[in-house]
């Protein structure tokens, strides 16, 4: 991995992954691809090259790949689960038509491709606890449908054309840098902002609803380590279960209260997000990732909570 294009570089994952790649691969071109409505700003704009790359425009992708001699594409363009449920056609267009563009350009120009999948690729028929790497994937959301289709399409391009496609199934990602937009797991980010601002948190997910979550530094490491993994050890490609923690709203609330005792929470359940959350696993089994490329998370709920509160206090000047 030397010259890398990040499509969707200004989103929740992209904004941090681009900066990490620029720090770790300083000798290469780490190109921040963006759509005109979401241009890079600040340090993201100043620290390296950026180009307009609309994933639905194959010619644009190919031109940027040629211009910077790109060898690896991080394809992070997607609508998150709750938004995708309201705009299913657009979610498919970006998630699958867009992926097809990326894969075709990569086939022609010999790029490796990372396209994240998600815990949302599982549906209500998968085992809920210790959800295995290889099991039934029958999601009932458009987000999940695009994620399973993306996994299959990426595997097809690896088998049929030898494109080096790799991926992980991300849990809900928690970060103090760029907020997520329209996911089912967003509450686990929003709750920290409320706690640090001294506001009561109105939780849209019902107590007892468990989902896998992960702190962003672990997620970024996973995205880089899977692309650097020795291919001869990989029995799977698209996509690996990865996990670090699983909790319900009351567990994260209790953990934050250990550090901010006056913090309060009430429930006002959002039916759309609740239905999506109930169709997802409680906790994935990530044994294959641990065995095939030595995946190991570094943050548990306590370590993440301490860091989130410290970083948000500095960011929000609280």
* Residue nearer to ligand AKB on the CB measure, 72 or 185: 185
Token look-up 């790029």 returns 111
Could you list the beta-strand ranges (E) of 70-210. Answer: 72-75, 112-114, 117-118, 129-131, 165-166, 168-170, 172-174, 201-203
Beta strands at 245-247 and 211-215: parallel, antiparallel or unpaired: antiparallel
* Residue nearer to ligand AKB on the CB measure, 105 or 119: 119
* Residue nearer to ligand AKB on the CB measure, 177 or 314: 177
| Residue 7: both structure tokens together | 């499509």
| Residues 6+ away with beta carbon under 8 Å from 23 | none
- Helix axis angle for 98-109 and 58-67, nearest 10°, is 40
Task: Evaluate whether 235 touches 288 at the Cβ level (below 8 Å).
Answer: yes
- Footprint of ligand AKB (CB under 6 A): 80-81, 118-120, 143, 170, 172-173, 180, 183-185
Active site residue 253: no
* Residue nearer to ligand AKB on the CB measure, 33 or 172: 172
* Residue nearer to ligand AKB on the CB measure, 36 or 271: 271
Q: 107: how many CB neighbours lie within 10 A of its CB? A: 15
- The strand pairing partners of 265, in sequence order, are 201
Catalytic residue, from 143, 157, 187, 299: name it: 143
- The strand pairing partners of 118, in sequence order, are 170
Of 151, 252, 160, nearest to 205 by C-alpha is 252
Cα separation, 232 vs 267, whole angstroms: 48
Q: 83: how many CB neighbours lie within 10 A of its CB? A: 17
Task: Evaluate whether 284 touches 241 at the Cβ level (below 8 Å).
Answer: yes
Of 151, 152, 153, 126, nearest to 139 by C-alpha is 126
Cα separation, 310 vs 277, whole angstroms: 29
* Residue nearer to ligand AKB on the CB measure, 119 or 196: 119
Task: List Cα–Cα distances, 164 to 7, 67, 152, 229, 253, in angstroms.
Answer: 17, 21, 14, 11, 41
Q: Which residues are part of the catalytic machinery?
A: 143
């Amino acid at each position: 991995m030397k010259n890398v294009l990040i499509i969707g570089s200004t989103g929740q994952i992209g904004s941090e992954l681009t900066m990490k790649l620029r720090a770790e691969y300083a000798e290469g071109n780490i190109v921040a691809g963006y759509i005109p409505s979401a241009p890079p700003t600040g340090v993201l704009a100043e620290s390296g090259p950026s180009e307009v790359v609309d994933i639905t425009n194959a010619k644009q992708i190919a031109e940027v790949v040629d211009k910077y001699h790109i060898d690896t594409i991080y394809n992070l363009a997607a609508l998150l689960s709750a938004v995708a449920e309201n705009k299913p056609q657009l979610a498919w267009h970006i998630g699958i038509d867009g992926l097809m563009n990326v894969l075709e350009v990569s086939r022609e120009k010999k790029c490796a491709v990372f396209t994240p999948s998600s815990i949302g690729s599982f549906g209500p028929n998968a085992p809920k606890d210790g959800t295995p790497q290889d099991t039934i994937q029958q999601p009932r959301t458009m987000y999940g449908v695009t994620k399973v289709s993306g996994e299959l399409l990426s595997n097809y391009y690896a088998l049929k054309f030898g494109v080096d496609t790799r991926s992980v199934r991300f849990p809900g990602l928690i970060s103090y840098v760029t907020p997520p937009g329209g996911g089912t797991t967003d509450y686990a980010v929003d709750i920290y902002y409320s706690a640090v601002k001294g506001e009561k948190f109105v939780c849209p997910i019902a107590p007892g609803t468990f989902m896998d979550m992960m702190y962003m530094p672990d997620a970024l490491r996973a995205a880089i380590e899977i692309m650097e993994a020795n291919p001869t050890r990989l029995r799977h490609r698209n996509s690996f279960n990865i996990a670090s923690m699983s909790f319900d709203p009351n567990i994260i609330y209790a953990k934050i209260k250990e550090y901010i005792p006056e913090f309060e929470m009430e429930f006002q359940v959002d039916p759309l997000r609740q239905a999506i959350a109930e169709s997802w696993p409680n906790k994935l089994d990530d044994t294959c990732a641990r065995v095939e490329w030595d995946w190991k998370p570094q943050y548990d709920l306590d370590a993440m909570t301490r860091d989130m509160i410290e970083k948000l206090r500095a960011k929000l000047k609280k």
